[in-house]
A and B are shown apart, each in its own frame.
Chain A
Amino acid sequence: METKVPRARRSKTAAALRELKKAPWSAWFGLIVLLGYTFVALFAPLIAPSKESEIVGDSYMEWSALYPFGTDQLGRDMLSRMIFAAQNSMGIALAATMFSFLTGGILGIMASILRGWFDQAVSRFIDALMAIPSLIFALMMLSILGSTAINLIIVIGVVDATRVFRLTRAVSMNVVSLDFVEAARLRGEKLPWVVFREIVPNILPPLITEFGLRYCFVFLTISSLSFLGLGLQPPTADWGLMVKENATLITYGDITPLLPAGAIALLTVAINFVVDWFLHKTSGLRDGQ
């Protein structure tokens, strides 16, 4: 029996590899870009030539060998700031998405298990919150709380948790009513056991896909907020903020401000390509086929 377990695992990885080989070029492109970004974000301090907010020269210096993308409005190295921004922007978006999946997921599972008034109360409240456009809701909350990194994570997390709640509740409703859950409960298992051993493993696949999409969305929202000057605050490096800070260069035909904007676009395109392929593979949901 013991020898069978690793063999089963190996065949799974082999299947995954075979699947990867058949993946379209768009998925490959997405995966490679994603890996590259993650690498840069993780090792930002080692890669960047200068410090995050170190002033290295005059403001708005031209592209040169020393400063490949020139300097920004305060004379900080653009390239280094782009690299640090990968860490900041991607990190905050990841924290916010995880926060939203934690709160939205827990509430969704609770609602599907407890049903009754709890489900009704939470669902109606969340319906009302979803009637407010998410960017507007985030702007509203930030005007009260002020924009700090922590507040940003909480506000975006809460706004996004409404969507996560909807999905989690819907998928886990289907699982909760199945016989093996009933059996586990009759067996006298405690609630946490039922949730983590019976329900969560069964609702995980759609939630993982959703995580990719939500991450993309959260990342774009935070970038937009930063661009509007309401997200991450200077001197923190953030792609959206860097576009805002250097936007005047555009009117002189200089493309430097488009670099951070392009970094955002490239990442979101990559994630979308990967998720698109994943959706196509797992469920055929796309195109309603």
Chain B
Amino acid sequence: MHPLARTILQRLGLGLMTLFIVSIVIFSMVSWLPGDFAKAILGQAATEETVAAFQKEIGLDKPPVQRYVEWVGNVVQGEFGSSFASRVGYKRTVAELIAPRLANTLFLASLTAAIAVPLALALGILAALYRNSLFDRIVNSVTLTTISMPEFFMAYLLMLFLSVKLSWLPGLASVDAETELLERITRCALPTLTLTLVIVAHMMRMTRAAIINLLACPYIEMARLKGMSKSRVILRHALPNAWAPIVNVVAFNLAYLVVGVVVVEAVFTYPGIGQLMVDAVTARDIPVVQACALIFAATYIMLNLTADIISIATNPRLLHPR
């Protein structure tokens, strides 16, 4: 078999393995619940029978392995069970709670990525090329400062200036299914801007470090000493080897986006999955928390896996095996 194909298959297997262990960890949450949890959910007035009925409903009376298999079987079909909050008369499945909000979050994340990735790569490469120049130093200290700030500080700063003082952009990002695309983008402008600032800082610094690392290699110096033009050295000699670190940087930061989104959604009350998870944690609505955690973790693992595979696939040494 081609060594490239073998490595990729290995990585895929490893990714599935990780997903499996993570799903076990998330699943076991229910079994770690303290004994009085049913009481906490049902209220102090709950009788012995209602507690028993509740425990039967979340399946605590069956052996764990059987429960796990059933749970995974349902999850694969997109069926996460029903929310704890649904018991008062009407039933709300976790899936119907999550679906519209997942779409919203994906919209916000892809909008951010579309702006942040090209911007960060360009800034990072420029800073690496003109290293230790005034431009580099300014960009460096600005990004170090933005990295150190909590997301909500940046979010409120932007909200104060761009929305309240100048009223250029809407301060709250309330959207629903009927909101039109252009309106949606305007309302998402502030959250997108916040996330972009945070991510660009990280991504730009990592890109800069990766490129500088590469430019220090002897073969780049050799190419330069041969008298090649600067652009040719970068495009033909450095770039093929730079793909791997750059892809890793991008994936790492998109994975970071997954987490950053939780706080930013809370600031702008954007109806996304992060906000849903926070509400579910406050209400201790375990099935919803499980589903959200699984989605976040799966996205995270998949992004890292994709980065791994792309960086292997673009490795010149593996592309041309002897």
The answer, yes or no, to whether B164 is at the interface (CB within 8 Å) is: yes
Q: Are A224 and B296 in contact (CB under 8 A)?
A: no
Task: Answer whether residue B209 sits at the interface, using C-beta atoms and an 8 A cutoff.
Answer: yes
CA distance A43 to B169 in the complex (A): 43
Q: Which of A129, A140, A146, A268 has a CB less than 8 Å from the CB of B148?
A: A268
Contact of B277 with A by CB under 8 A: yes
Is B213 in contact with A143, judged by CB distance below 8 angstroms?
Answer: no
Known: A136-B259, A136-B293, A227-B152. A128 touches B21 (CB 8 A): yes
Q: In the complex, A268→B154 CA distance in Å?
A: 13
B59 at the interface (CB under 8 A from A): no
State whether the Cβ of B199 lies closer than 8 Å to any Cβ in chain A. Answer: no
B286 touches which of A134, A143, A243 (Cβ 8 Å): A143
Find out whether the CB atom of B164 lies under 8 angstroms from the CB atom of A288. Answer: no
Measured CB to CB, the nearest residue on chain A to B299 is A133
Nearest Cβ on chain A to B27's Cβ, whole angstroms: 11
- A243, B156: Cβ atoms closer than 8 Å: yes
Question: Quick check: B266 and A228 within 8 Å, CB to CB?
Answer: yes
Residues in A neighbouring B280, C-beta threshold 8 A: 143
Q: Indicate whether A230 sits within 8 Å of B278 (C-beta atoms), given known contacts A132-B22, A133-B296, A261-B150.
A: yes
Judging by beta carbons under 8 Å apart, are B149 and A132 in contact?
Answer: no
B151 neighbours in A (Cβ, 8 Å): 224
Contact of A46 with B by CB under 8 A? no
A250 and B151 alpha carbons, distance in the complex (Å): 16
B255 / chain A contacts, CB cutoff of 8 Å? 133
> CB within 8 A of B29: which of A26, A140, A255?
A140
Q: Does B149 contact A269, Cβ atoms closer than 8 Å? A: yes
List residues of A (244-275) whose CB comes within 8 Å of B's CBs.
Answer: 247, 250-253, 255, 257-258, 261-262, 264-265, 268-269, 271-273
B133 CB-CB contact with A under 8 Å = no
User: Which residues in B have their C-beta under 8 angstroms from that of A143?
Assistant: 29, 280-281, 284-286, 289
Q: How many residues of B contact A (CB 8 A)?
A: 56
Q: Contact: B150 with A139, CB < 8 Å?
A: no
Question: CB-CB < 8 A to A272: which residues of B?
Answer: 144, 147-148
A250 near B164: Cβ-Cβ < 8 Å = yes
Residue in A124, A216, A250 whose beta carbon sits within 8 Å of that of B156 in the complex:
A250
Asked whether, in the complex, the Cβ of A132 is within 8 Å of the Cβ of B293, the reply is yes
**Nearest Cβ on chain A to B118's Cβ, whole angstroms:** 23
> Given the complex, which residues of B lie within 8 Å of A269, measured CB to CB?
144-145, 148-149
B95-144 residues at the A interface, CB under 8 angstroms: 141, 144
Measured in the bound complex, the distance between the Cα atoms of B25 and A124 in whole Å is 13
A135 to B281, CA, bound (A): 12
Q: Are A261 and B156 in contact (CB under 8 A)?
A: yes
- B281 close to A268 (CB less than 8 A): no
A216 with B22: in contact, given A139-B293, A287-B212 (CB under 8 Å)?
A: no
B277 touches A139 (CB 8 A): yes
Residue B263 at the chain A interface, CB threshold 8 Å: yes
A-B contact list, 24 entries, CB within 8 Å: A26-B141, A125-B21, A128-B18, A128-B21, A131-B21, A131-B304, A132-B296, A133-B258, A136-B258, A139-B289, A143-B280, A144-B284, A227-B150, A243-B156, A250-B164, A258-B156, A261-B150, A265-B148, A265-B150, A272-B144, A272-B147, A276-B144, A287-B208, A288-B216
A-to-B contact residues, CB < 8 Å = 26, 124-125, 127-129, 131-137, 139-140, 142-146, 216, 220, 223-224, 227-230, 240, 243, 247, 250-253, 255, 257-258, 261-262, 264-265, 268-269, 271-273, 276, 287-289
Given contacts A132-B293, A227-B263, A247-B267, 14 further A-B contacts (CB under 8 A): A128-B25, A133-B255, A135-B259, A136-B292, A140-B293, A143-B284, A145-B34, A230-B282, A250-B171, A253-B164, A258-B156, A262-B153, A269-B145, A276-B144
